[in-house]
Every structure is written in structure tokens, then in C-alpha cells.
Amino acid sequence: MSAAIRIQQVSKCFGSTKALDKVDLEVEPGEFFGLLGPNGAGKTTLISALAGLVRADSGSLSVMGHDVQSDYRAARRHLGVVPQELVFDPFFTVRESLKIQSGYFGIGDNDRWIDEILENLGLTSKANANMRMLSGGMKRRVLVAQALVHRPPVIVLDEPTAGVDVELRQTLWAFIRRLNEAGHTIVLTTHYLEEAESLCGRIAMLQSGRIVALDTTARLLRRFSTHTLRLRSRDEMPADLVRGAAQSGGWWSMPFDAFDEVEPLLARIRAAGCRIDDLEIGKPDLEEVFIRVMQGQAEASVN
Amino acid sequence: MGHGFSTLLYKEVLRFWKVGSQTVAAPVLTSLLYLLIFSHVLEAHVKVHGVSYTAFLVPGLVMMSVLQNAFANSSSSLIQSKVTGNIVFVLLPPISYLEFFLAYVLASVVRGLVVGAGVLLATFWFAPLTFVEPVWILVFALMGGTILGSLGVIAGIWAEKFDQLAAFQNFLIMPLTFLSGVFYSINSLPPFWQQVSHWNPVFYMIDGFRHGFFGVSDASPWLSLSVVGGCLVLLTLFTLNLLKRGYKLRA
């Protein structure tokens, strides 16, 4: 079975800026994949190259085994893209937009699927409203709907939740999760790292057009982030205990790997006669991973 | 041609039809005003090719409307889609560059013909018109609409802002159409300007079109056919090449 997405040695320059620098990436069918990176890292360029909106200078890209240039019709039929910009056609209603989009993909009678998408995205009541009349959040939903009219096996969402309220986020993710469970491959870019952490099975991090980290979310978290015991005490902490710990604002942060390390640690603090005023346990999070990876790269490029 | 093509054509026609007061009624009214004013001033003084000035003017105005509106349709649709960003809706689907070209140009021709027919209907009452060789009327309307529709595609793709498109329209399309013999026979011009007019392809479109009504014209309709046909082929190839390369659409 061919990869859902295969990107091989793809480079792209805009003038003297290297937007993509020999990117290699493979996403398997059925994955929920996250593409992370700071602004300008090349995420959107990579998605655009995959969608045929941008032509790569070198390398090749394929969707479900179809090359995006030589076999573009099949590649595009297998791909649904939710663009980052909130774009819409002011001449049409929601339903007209979706019917027209279906037609572009060669689907004449698509009313049942359109109704289903509208229902799932909470758009049914807006079906006959003109696009201009919709709020930003509603327009965003229509963009998602437009990307799905042709039931693409691979769905790419470029920052779908930027500036979107909580309710829509939840509706959207519930729907995308269902699509993923039904077998659709999902690729997501977002700046909300907690979203990526909870949704994505695998994550690639992009910086200055290069992939600087690529692993399962779980392994990335283990590798770059640990649990932390944070506590506050009015008493002097024993020096051997706080070795390797960081202090800020009266709080000590002590990294640990397994939960059975916590009890002995607390016991020793108690034995030293320190009273604990406040205490919390921090889980590994993607934000820390992200920052470490990006800093690591910045340092590497300085050296 | 697939379903993608027919949908894009349908969408482009629907787009201008939905704002018909601006895209159809307004240019018809403008032409009617031209007719009222120019025929009021000149009817008593001028006869061209043996027909009254008003009768002479009507086909010119009809063809000018066909051409200007064909250009306006593809160019404004593309620039609006580019500026607002919704051009991605037609770039993401499996639509070939040939389908893209044909849909935009054909929709332009449809708009041109609809407006042209509207102008004809509105001005018909002011002058006795004849349709001596109607095949020429149809041939030149279709070819002229296609050429200006292609030019509209080129301008719409090339322009990045509305003022760039306006420059293309004001400094190229308007002079070409106004100085093409819509309002006069070029035989009435001084020799130098007659020569200049012969280098204007729009002159041949108007002249050939008018020949269909009266059976007489400044140039032979066969010469006009070959000039206009040549332009059609060259512009089509040029536009298709731009689209194939993805010029300014697929960076």
C-alpha cells in the first residue's frame, strides 16, 4: 500500500529565501499527523506544494501514490485542503459554494453528502445564507466543508482553529476525529500545541524549511520533556535535593521520570524538616518539546 | 471536457448574472446614452456607407459592448478571486489549464453576447437595421468575444491589484476599442490615422461585424476574418502557455 503522502527531497526558494530545504516526509494512510513550526517555517509552502498551488523547485510529492505534477488529477481528487486564510466567494450561498466545489471535482449529485457535512459542522441552518452574511467562525466551517465535498482520503488542515471559538474547535475536532476513525488520513498544522498533543499520533517539526524533529508524539514527549514536581517551601531546602532543580519565584521545579520517584523525594523533604506550602505535578508537554527542539536548532546553527 | 469545466463555466456565468444590474444593465444603458447623444449631434450631418449615422452607429456600439464586457468578465472575476484569495477553490480541484481557459473565456463570450444582444434590443428602435449577411455578425461577435475574453484572462492573471487591472483597461482596451471605428468610418480619417487604424485589430472586429449588417465595410470581411482569426490563434496560444506554466497562479 502506498503512503498517503510521500514527500521526497523537496526544495523551494522564493527569491533568496529557502522556504523548503530538501524535505523528506512520509505519512501513512490513517495517520493523524501534526506539522508544527514557527511562522515562516515553511508549513504552508509544504502544503501548497502538495496541493499543486506552488511548484517545488526540486524533489517530488505524491498523494496516495499519485504524483502531484504528472498525475495531478488523481492526486487532487485524493486530497482535501482547508486553507489557512479565511477565503470565500461572496457571490454564493453556502449550499451553492459546496455544490460548485463538488462540480469542480466531477461530482454532479452530491446533495446527501453535502447535507451530512453541513449537519456535522453545525451549518444546516446556514445552508441558504450568503457567504458574506456569515461570521468568521461560520466561514471557517464552510472552508472545512468545501475541502470535504469530494470525500478525500487525505485531508490537510492549515491552522483550522486560528481565531476560532471553543465551541467550533470542539465541533471541528470531534468531526475530524470521526473522519480519522473512518480511515481518512489527517495532516494538521496549528500553533495550539495542546491540540496537536492530544490529536496527533505523529509530529514533524519544521524550522527554516527543514524538518528538525519527526517522531511519534509520545516519543517526542519522552525525549524532550519530563514530569516535573513543583513545590514551594518557606524553609531552606536541603542542597542535595535541589541539585538539578530550577528555582523561580519561590518555586522549586524538580524533573522526574517515573511517579514512584515522587514519594521518596517528598519523604526526604519532610525528613529535612521542610514544610511544603504548595505543590503541583507538571506533565510533559509539547510546548516544552517545541521550545527545546527550536532552541536546540538555533544553537546548532550558531555553532 | 469534464464536469469540472462545465461547473466552472456555470459558476462564471452565474457570477455575472447574479449582479446583472452592474454587468448587463449598466453597459446597455451606457451604450444607449452614447447612441442618444451622438445620433442627436450627428444624425443630420453624417451618412456613412450610404446608411444613416444612427444605423451605422448601432452595430459599432453592439460590438464594442461585446468586446468590453467580454474583457471585463474574465479580468474582473480573476482579479477579485486573486485579491480575496478564493482563487484556491478553482486551483485545488483537478481542473486542467485548458478547461480553466475555456471556462473563463466562454463565460466572457456569453456575457459579451448577452450585453451585445441587450444593446441591440435597446437601440434597435432608433434606426432601421438590416441583417444582410448574418453569418459575419455571428462569426465576428464570437471571435471578438473570445479574443477579449482571453485578454481578460491575461490581464486578470497578470494584475496583482485593482489599479493595475484598471491601467490595462484604461490604457490598452479603451483606446483600442474607441479608436477602432465604432463612431466613424476610418475612411473619413486623415491618411495617417487611417494607417494607424489598420494596425488596430479591434478595427477589423468592428468592421467585419458591421459588414454583416450592411454588406459594406471599410475593409474586406475576408481580410478582417484573417486578421481577427490570426489574433485569436496567437492570443489563445499565448494565454494557454501562461496557464500551463502556472504564471502567477501556481508560484
User: What CATH number does residue A25 fall under?
Assistant: 3.40.50.300
Instruction: Give the long-range contacts of residues A267-276, CB within 8 A, separation 24 or more.
Output: A268/A238, A268/A241, A269/A231, A269/A233, A269/A237, A269/A238, A269/A241, A272/A237, A272/A238, A272/A241, A273/A235, A274/A233, A274/A235, A274/A236, A274/A237, A274/A238, A275/A233, A275/A234, A275/A235, A276/A231, A276/A232, A276/A233
| Shared-domain flag, residues A214 and A231 | no
- At which of A184, A204, A221 does a domain end? A221
- At which of A197, A221, A245 does a domain end? A221
| Shared-domain flag, residues A62 and A137 | yes
For A60-108, what is each residue's pLDDT tens digit? 999 999 999 999 999 999 999 999 999 999 999 999 999 999 999 999 8
pLDDT at A192: 85
pLDDT at B129: 86
| Shared-domain flag, residues A113 and A30 | yes
| Shared-domain flag, residues A233 and A146 | no
Q: Residue B41 and residue B46: Cα distance in Å, rounded? A: 10
**Sign of the dihedral defined by the CA atoms of residues B72, B75, B78, B83, in that order:** negative
Cβ of B3 within 8 Å of Cβ of A52? The answer is no
- ipTM for the predicted complex comes to 0.90
- At which of A221, A242, A269 does a domain end? A221
Cβ of B2 within 8 Å of Cβ of A106? The answer is yes
Contact A101, A92 (CB under 8 A): no
Residue A121 has pLDDT above 60, yes or no: yes
Share of chain B above pLDDT 70, in %: 100
Residues in B 88-127 with any Cβ partner in A closer than 8 A: 88-96
Residue B59 has pLDDT above 60, yes or no: yes
B65 confidence band (pLDDT: 50, 70, 90): very high
- A299 falls within a domain: no
| Shared-domain flag, residues A130 and A34 | yes
pLDDT at A1: 63
Asked if B44 has any chain A CB less than 8 Å from its own CB, the reply is no
- A297 falls within a domain: no
pLDDT at A298: 63
A300 confidence band (pLDDT: 50, 70, 90): low
| Shared-domain flag, residues A72 and A184 | yes
Which residues of chain A lie closer than 8 angstroms to B88, CB-CB?
53, 81, 83, 87
Single-letter amino acid, residue A29? P
| Shared-domain flag, residues A76 and A199 | yes
pLDDT at B41: 85
- A302 falls within a domain: no
Bridge partner residues of A32 (DSSP): A186
Higher pLDDT, A163 or B17: B17
| Shared-domain flag, residues A238 and A261 | yes
Question: According to DSSP H, which parts of chain B are helical?
Answer: 3-18, 20, 26-42, 53-84, 88-91, 97-123, 134-158, 162-168, 174-178, 191-198, 201-214, 221-245
Pick from A73, A85, A102: which is nearest to B85 by CB? A85
| Shared-domain flag, residues A66 and A207 | yes
pLDDT at A181: 96
| Shared-domain flag, residues A237 and A183 | no
Cβ of A103 within 8 Å of Cβ of B6? The answer is yes
| Shared-domain flag, residues A142 and A258 | no
Domain count for chain A: 2
Chain B: give the shortest CA distance to residue A91, in Å: 6
| Shared-domain flag, residues A128 and A62 | yes
Please state the rounded mean pLDDT for residues A222-238: 81
Write out the residue range of the structural domain in which residue A254 sits. Answer: 227-283
Order of all β-strands in the sheet with A32-36: A79-82, A154-158, A185-189, A32-36, A202-207, A210-216
